[in-house]
Each structure stands twice: as C-alpha cells, then as structure tokens.
Amino acid sequence: KAGVTQTPRYLIKTRGQQVTLSCSPISGHRSVSWYQQTPGQGLQFLFEYFSETQRNKGNFPGRFSGRQFSNSRSEMNVSTLELGDSALYLCASSGTGTLTDTQYFGPGTRLTVL
C-alpha cells in the first residue's frame, strides 16, 4: 500500500501571499490530520478531518483553514502568510477515524516564507 503523500514537498512564498498544501492519505483511510512542526514550538496540531467534516481544530488563527474531499484527500490553506508560518507541515492519516487508530505520517511540505 502506498503511504501518505504530500505535495508539494517544498515551497517558497513571500509575506502576504497565500498557499495551498495537499495531502493524499493511505488508500482506504478516512481521517486526515495536519500538524505544524517548527524548531521553537515543536509539533502542534492544526486540524483533523473525517468524512469531509472538521472534527477538531487546534489553536491557530483563522488564516489557517482546511478541507477534505469525498475521496479523503485533504488540503490546507494559509492566507496572508507571515514569516512565522515557515515550518514543516505534516499530514497524517488513519483508517477508521476512531480513537484506537494509529496515525501514519507523510513526508511533509517544507514551507519557507520570505
């Protein structure tokens, strides 16, 4: 089975722009979560989707948004980029979306904001 894939792998943007990141979960997985990883703050939860519904959202400003499509693929969008948004954005998928699931991570998208 193919793993979690994320595109693009690297992005360079300037302040004020917006960006869209994509995540394709493992085939058959219905839950997708997003995390931001920075050296200072570590791994922080952004949001989680299951069957196209956002079930949980982390403590991030409204500039961070996401969605999930009927095929379970997910996108996250960051508008009005700030320097502090530079980070590795990780996507994780799990099968049934229950709390017993294990999350499997993708390789991440490295976003640099200049």
Partner 1 sequence: AQTVTQSQPEMSVQEAETVTLSCTYDTSESDYYLFWYKQPPSRQMILVIRQEAYKQQNATENRFSVNFQKAAKSFSLKISDSQLGDAAMYFCAYRSALSGGSNYKLTFGKGTLLTVNP
Q: Where along the sequence are the contacts to partner 1 (CB under 8 A)? A: 3, 31, 33, 35, 42-43, 45, 48, 50, 55-56, 58, 90, 92, 97, 99-100, 102-108
CA geometry: angle 12, 65, 54, nearest 5 deg: 140
Q: Min. distance of Cβ 17 from partner 1 in angstroms?
A: 25
Least distance (Å) between residue 19 CB and partner 1: 21
The nearest distance, CB 3 to partner 1, in angstroms, is 7
Cβ closer to partner 1: 75 or 101? 101
Minimal distance, residue 72 CB to partner 1, in Å: 15
Q: Of the two residues 90 and 113, which places its CB atom closer to partner 1 in the complex? A: 90
Three-state SS letters, the chain: CCCCEEECCEEEECCCCCEEEEEECCCCCCEEEEEEEECCCEEEEEEEEECCEEEEECCCCCCEEEEECCCCCEEEEECCCCHHHCEEEEEEEECCCCCCCCCEECCCEEEEEC
Smaller CB separation from partner 1, 14 or 53: 53
